[in-house]
Structure 1
Amino acid sequence: MKKFLNGGFLFASVFNYFLLTIVFYALTEDWRAAFPLAIAALAILYALTLTPIVDWYYRMILNLREPNAIENERLKRVWDMVCCGAEKAGIPVKESIKLYISDEEGLNAFATGTRTIAVHRELLNNYIGDEEIAGVLAHELAHHIHGDTVCLLMSLQGTVIFGGIRFVIKVVFWIAGKLAAVIAAFIGFAAADGNLDEGVGWWKIVNFIFDKIYGIIDFFLAGVAYVETACFRFFDRQQEFAADAFGGKIGFSNGLVTLFGKFPKEKKVNKLSVEYLLYGTHPPTEERIARLQKISSEVEIKEVQDQISDEDIERQAILDKNLEEAFSVEDYLRHPESYSGEELYRAGVFCLNHNREQAGIEWLERAIEHGEPRAYTELGCCYMNGRGVESDKKLAVNYFKKAFANDESQGTYMLAECCATLAKEEKDFIVAAKIYGKAAKLGERRAQAKLGQCFLNGVGVKKNEEAAFRWLSKAVEEGDYSIAGYSLARCYMEGRGREPNLKKGIFILKKVIGSGGEDVERARELLTECSKSSTNSKIVLK
């Protein structure tokens, strides 16, 4: 029962109890009898929603079927991923839940009854990855675990009861109005000594009065119905957020975000509009994506924290303390020969990372005196960003040049970035490309990505798609999806520098979206184009 105590369930229970109380009072004319009878009826309705008959009924009217051999193989594989993620999060999965297939059009899935999840057949096509399907199934599983499907069934019961009450009131007023009109017409006819016009006049007056009274009552009831609908839609949207959060917390945030990225772009939603309040069952997609990305970051941080034991934290604290105490200016001045350039460089980085910028600058300068090339790069970044010193881009470039002269990969890359940013003529781009080339050969993956883009677009070098593909692939192999990923995906999809491979291109686009880099939006748009080319069906995740 605890899992069903959400806002939607409580609202549905209270609303249904209120309606049933009115019904039983109308039948018994005794409030003391109406209250317990309403509770008993509510308990019976609640019990009926938990029976297998409800699942059987919805499977029948929705034309759900058992998955075939191929569908079952993939669904089983993906469902095992979901169950595994839930178990790691300490959430037991109901073994009674069954997966069915719906042949309706659209990339969609939905939960119904108390143990049924239906997957649209088109969701299992080649353009939707296992992780995306797992995110959808985790989302639908959450609706069962949170009791959202039971809440929906109870809201439907309330709608039927309320509709029945309105119908009865309408019938009663219609019959009463007609009877009263007949009686009034007869009295008017008799009082006017058989004047037929007088009787008809009374008929019209009484009819008019009853119609207006019923109109006022029905207007009030219609207002109640709209308020009820708005409340249920509000809880529906909160349930969608909660289901997304569940899917994210058991490890499928990226899958859901990737799938949402394939949704057609929505018009800006006015959350105060009547359409949204009464018919908006799902929150805006952008808001769902933002929440999922936040959850994804929290999950990643927690995973890292879980991997670090208390002993590791204590050991690191001791190392930091020892490092801070070991590197004192006085000791260095007394025994400079006992310090290596690497040790001084580490001391400088340590101070910079612990909000001691001025001390960090001093140690980096001493590291340079001891021949540590990485200190040039670090100092260049400090002067470029005004960290611990006054910003001086010219001096920063000079430090990057010294890093370049000492074959330091990151400093060489930063020098290339400065050249590319300041480039105005073709010769400037040629210089930048050459420096990117040196950094790339030194193993700097960002430079490998930028060099690949230079070859791909013919910027600073002669256009060479084979070389572009080679350098972009190398950068991606090193884990750089944020810069190189989108360009490499286009190479695969358009056959630039190699034979076309649409499946591989789509795989890389998904990685780009997960990386959170500057090309995320372009990757989403390209994935959307791919999905549109495979299906014209509307994508809706329920």
Structure 2
Amino acid sequence: MNYFKTALLLAALTGFVLVAGYLLGGQSGLVIALVAALGMNLFAYWNSDKMVLRMSNAQEVGPNEAPELYGIVQGLADRAGLPMPRVYVIDEEQPNAFATGRNPENAAVAATTGLLRYLSREEIAGVMAHELSHVRHRDTLIMTIAATLSGAIGMLASFGGLMGGGRDSEGRPLVNPIVAIAAMILAPLAAALVQMAISRGREYEADRMGAEISGQPLWLASALAKLHAGTQQIPNRAAEANPATAHMYIANPLSAGGMASLFSTHPPMEERIARLEAMAGQMGGGYRSAPRPNTNPWTTAVPQAPRRGPWG
């Protein structure tokens, strides 16, 4: 997804905040919406990384505590021309990972213990390259802004009945009650759809750039197949308790399915793997196809990609 399209979608989210505020509360609602959006974004800009890491119970590690993970991240960061991010480990059996931080100088990457246990060194490198791509493109800041704007819309909708919109000199409501009710229902839905479009586009781009950083698209493709199976079978306690953080993970950590999956912020895993396989074919090198997402990596051997990269 290009930056122009992302900017348009963020502008649309901001517009939804203001329109929702006006429809639900008139002029006073508009002011409240504007203040809420600005306040939430300023707070998120400076504190989102600390909040997400704390909610995930992430523990910072160094070369002594997690030498292999730290070495992989360090080698990939050098290859990508990025400052070395802080490295965290989350005590969760579900294999997953995310990146956070407002810019590359204040970035952090986090991996679950399940990811370190179930994935090979090459697959871990593919996942970490994906996360460093998010850092490189400042996606972590973009996604934080999108999440806080969507949160502001949800907050306005929740308190819409209390705002009332005021009354004119004859005691009539300034805002049509039917319009207000429609706004309470439709505004959060529209915001969720816009956030989904932003998130899915950034994930595709991070897959592409991550594959370029590692030089091996199938490392990530193979990892995604395992992550998909793992997230279907193993719950993520921290993410389930704080679903607002779900969009930051490389694979959707939530166990909800059915209609909820239609509004997932993550693109279909089959499509992500197919794009990486096509990229591997264009790069050449005799790669084998990655396992499909319905493969169960806990009982089925996964073909491993050749072992080469910046870590030796």
Q: Structure 2 length normalisation: TM-score? A: 0.68
8 Å CA contact 1:249, 1:299 repeated in 2: no
Structure 1 residues 531 and 63 mapped into 2: Cα distance closer, same or farther (>3 Å)? Answer: farther
Determine the structure 1 residue equivalent to 2:55: 61
Which is bigger in relative contact order (C-alpha 8 A, separation at least 6)? 2
Determine the structure 1 residue equivalent to 2:83: 94
| Counterpart pick for 2:111 among 111, 116, 119 | 119
Q: RMSD of aligned C-alpha atoms?
A: 4.1
How far off is 1:144 after superposition?
2.1
Structure 1 residues 119 and 253 mapped into 2: Cα distance closer, same or farther (>3 Å)? Answer: same
Structure 1 residues 15 and 525 mapped into 2: Cα distance closer, same or farther (>3 Å)? Answer: closer
Q: What is the alpha-carbon distance in structure 2 between the residues aligned to residue 72 and residue 232 of structure 1?
A: 34
Q: Is 1:244 the equivalent of 2:14?
A: no
- Secondary structure, aligned partner of 2:204: helix
Q: What is the alpha-carbon distance in structure 2 between the residues aligned to residue 50 and residue 94 of structure 1?
A: 19
8 Å CA contact 1:4, 1:147 repeated in 2: no
Which structure would you say has the larger Rg?
Answer: 1
Q: Is 1:282 the equivalent of 2:282?
A: no
| Counterpart pick for 1:224 among 175, 184, 187 | 187
The count of aligned residue pairs is: 261
Determine the structure 2 residue equivalent to 1:132: 123
8 Å CA contact 2:62, 2:87 repeated in 1: no
Q: How does 1:23-422 map to 2 (within 5 A)?
A: 26-27=27-28, 46=41, 48-51=43-46, 53-67=47-61, 71-86=65-80, 92-95=81-84, 97-114=85-102, 115-125=107-117, 127-173=118-164, 214=177, 217-250=180-213, 251-262=215-226, 263-264=228-229, 275-278=260-263, 280-300=264-284
Determine the structure 1 residue equivalent to 2:235: none
- Secondary structure, aligned partner of 1:515: coil
% identical equivalent positions = 23
Q: Is 1:529 the equivalent of 2:261?
A: no
Q: Structure 1 length normalisation: TM-score? A: 0.41
How far off is 1:19 after superposition?
2.6
Q: What is the alpha-carbon distance in structure 1 between the residues aligned to residue 179 and residue 58 of structure 2?
A: 44
Q: How does 1:451-490 map to 2 (within 5 A)?
A: none
8 Å CA contact 2:147, 2:195 repeated in 1: no
Which amino acid in the other structure matches residue 285 of structure 1?
M
Structure 1 residues 61 and 5 mapped into 2: Cα distance closer, same or farther (>3 Å)? Answer: same
8 Å CA contact 1:249, 1:295 repeated in 2: no
Which amino acid in the other structure matches residue 202 of structure 2?
Q
- Secondary structure, aligned partner of 1:65: strand
Give unmatched runs, 5+ long, in structure 2: 233-257, 303-312
Runs of 4+ residues deviating >6 angstroms: 40-44
Q: Which has the higher helix share?
A: 1
